[in-house]
Amino acid sequence: MSSRSPLQGVPAVSDPLRRLSRRRLLRHAMAGTGALLAAGPLSGCASPASASGASALSVWDLFQGGDGMLMDEMIDAVSKGDDGFDVDRTILDWGPSYYTKLAMSAAGGRASDVAAMHLSRLAGYAPGGLVDPVDLDLLAEFGVTEKDFTPAVWSRTRHEGTVYAVPLDVHPFIVFYDKKAAEKAGLLDSSGALAPMGSPEALLEAGKALAEATGQSGILFGHVTDTAQNWRLFAGLYAQTGADFDLPDGGPARIDVDAAVRVVTLMTRLFDGKTNPNNLDYNGALAAFTGGRGGMAMLGEWELPTLKESGIDLGAAPFPQVFDKPAVYTDSHSFVLPHQEDPDPARRREAHRYIAAVLKQSLTWASAGHIPAYQPVLAEPEYAALEPQSSYADAAKVAVLDPPNWFVGAGSNFQNRMCQPLQSALLGNTSPEKAVRQMVREADALLQQPNPVA
């Protein structure tokens, strides 16, 4: 700008005072902006410490609603007393976005001290070093060892022999049933619990009998536009056939096509649109079951609090065994130590102590329907008294999780892509054979992608 402008005579523009103030204003504005920009990251660093003290243990999880309140209760319980924890809890929306954020924070090396993770996702995090190994000696010092977990679940905490996660619960895909309808349909044993089925035909018969008993639908299952339900049902039944489902790096996927076709065929016969509707979405099935328009529903145990409120005479059981081998599709919420560039040993020690302390609060967690992974809790009489939770606790022993690979697990694209052909088959848009062929193709396509986390 030309300060030696010859236009001194035009006050509106060149009054020196005004110009000075205008310029000063500008300069201040720029400085202010700069200060704001600079303060952003700084205050971001400072906030956890100033908000809850420098020693607060930062914890990330994805528990909302009822689960979130129970987790609050458990954290309150471990925060009491002289050696209670000072916990800075961050709750994030469950699903793909949670795992994106967790991976990013760990890749940045400044993650939280402890984070919750579905065990099925571990294979996407452990190989790339996004989670740090669990110190088993340290954990044992605080009273938690491998023996406290079922082998089916503990085996999934390892990657190349190292343990990376401590399971909090097991949450299987099970069946809920209306006790009155099931009794009318003759499906209960002498003790009033769901009798074993033992064959695909028995399951089909049960569906018909329940439909007759309720006068409407037999077995309800909501899968339309859902990104996981079909896969949960398929994976559990497929595991019951005893066939392997392996996803070796680089492909091709090892899937027993005949067994898979048998499973999908059973699914289409079960949900034939007559005795069991084939076109329900998740909420539709839930609403139909709680409204008494079906005798049984295939759901995750996490729906227990919702279903209890409905007032139906509720029974629950592990997913019925209809093929050769007992197996129940499951996932597990577990605790991990997200990767930190330069972990403070004292904080790490606290993190282990925290995990052990929260595990011992598992009875609270079980009240929502989850099966505690920490076995000593299952032996307590208080757990046996929890109905119907205790009636499906055995599911943890035959738990089957997703085949490990970086792209699989809860909230993953893999589950969504497996669900799509299965949905087409259930809706009658394609045959079971074609659906299975597409599933194999999708799995192969994912296996051929370069691994972005290792």
Partner 1 sequence: MTTTAPLGAEERTDPATGPADGRRAVLRRIRPGNGFVFVLPFLLVFGLFMVWPIVQGLWMSFTDSSLALRDTGFVGFDNYTEAFGDPDVWSSLGNTLFFTAISSVPLVLVALAMALLVHSGLAGQWAWRLAFFAPYLLPVTVVTLIWTWLYQPELGLGNQLLDSFGMAPVGWLSDESVAMWSIAALTVWWTVGFNFLLYLAALQSLPTTFDEAAALDGAGAWRRLWSITLPQLRRTTGLVAMLQILASLKVFDQIYILTKGGPNGSTRPVLEYVYDVGFTGYRLGYASAVSYLFFALIIVVSLVQFRLFRRED
Residues near partner 1 (CB under 8 A)? 1-2, 5-10, 13, 26, 29, 33, 96-97, 99-100, 103-104, 106-107, 125, 128, 130, 224-225, 227, 277, 279-281, 283-284, 287-288, 407, 411-413, 416, 419-421, 423-424, 427, 429, 445, 449-450, 452-453
- Token pair of 107, please? 């890749």
The distance of closest approach from Cβ of residue 205 to partner 1 in the complex, given in angstroms and rounded to an integer, is: 24
- Compare residues 321 and 340 and give the one whose CB is closer to partner 1: 340
Task: Kindly state the smallest distance separating residue 245's Cβ from partner 1, in Å.
Answer: 20
Kindly tell me which of 162 and 225 has the beta carbon lying closer to partner 1. Answer: 225
Nearest in space to 316 (alpha carbons), one of 177, 198, 191: 177
* Residue placing its CB nearer to partner 1 in the complex, 55 or 100: 100
Q: How far is the CB of 112 from partner 1 (least distance, A)?
A: 16
What's the min distance (Å) between Cβ of 220 and partner 1?
10
The nearer residue to partner 1, 118 or 352, going by C-beta atoms, is: 118
3-state secondary structure the chain: CCCCCCCCCCHHHHCHHHHHHHHHHHHHHHHHHHHHHHHHHHHHHHHHHHHHCCCCEEEEECCCHHHHHHHHHHHHHHHCCCCCCCEEEEECCCCHHHHHHHHHHHHCCECCCEEEEEHHHHHHCCCCCCEECCCHHHHHHCCCCHHHCCHHHHHHHEECCEECEEECEEEEEEEEEEHHHHHHCCCECCCCCECCCCCHHHHHHHHHHHHHHHCCEEEECCCECCCCHHHHHHHHHHHHCCCCEECCCCCCCEECHHHHHHHHHHHHHHCCCCCCCCCCEHHHHHHHHHCCCEEEEEEEHHHHHHHHHCCCCEEEEECCCCCCCCCEEEECEEEEEECECCCCHHHHHHHHHHHHHHHCCHHHHHCCCCEECCHHHHCCHHHHCCCCHHHHHHHHHHEECCCCCCCCCCCCHHHHHHHHHHHHHHCCCCCHHHHHHHHHHHHHHHHHCCCCCC
Question: Could you tell me the smallest distance in angstroms from the CB atom of residue 219 to partner 1?
Answer: 15
Question: In angstroms, how far apart are the furthest CA atoms of the chain?
Answer: 107
Compute the least distance from the CB of residue 41 to partner 1, in Å. Answer: 14
Q: Is 288 or 296 the residue whose CB approaches partner 1 more closely?
A: 288
Using CA atoms, how far apart are residues 217 and 95, in angstroms rounded to an integer?
A: 31
- The CB-of-361 to partner 1 minimum distance in angstroms stands at 31
Phi, psi of 141, deg, nearest 5: -60, -30
Closest alpha carbon to 419 in 172, 222, 280, 227: 227
- To the nearest whole angstrom, how small is the minimum distance from the Cβ of residue 221 to partner 1? 13
* Cβ proximity to partner 1, 180 vs 293, nearer residue: 293
Q: What is the distance between the terminal CA atoms of the chain, rounded to a whole angstrom?
A: 55
Nearer to partner 1, 9 or 44 (CB): 9
Q: Which is nearer to partner 1, 9 or 161 (CB)?
A: 9
CB 376 to partner 1: min, Å: 35
Nearer to partner 1, 37 or 379 (CB): 37
Cβ proximity to partner 1: between 38 and 384 the closer is: 38
Q: Which is nearer to partner 1, 8 or 50 (CB)?
A: 8
Minimum CB–partner distance for residue 225 and partner 1 (Å): 5
* Residue 365 C-beta: closest distance to partner 1, Å: 27
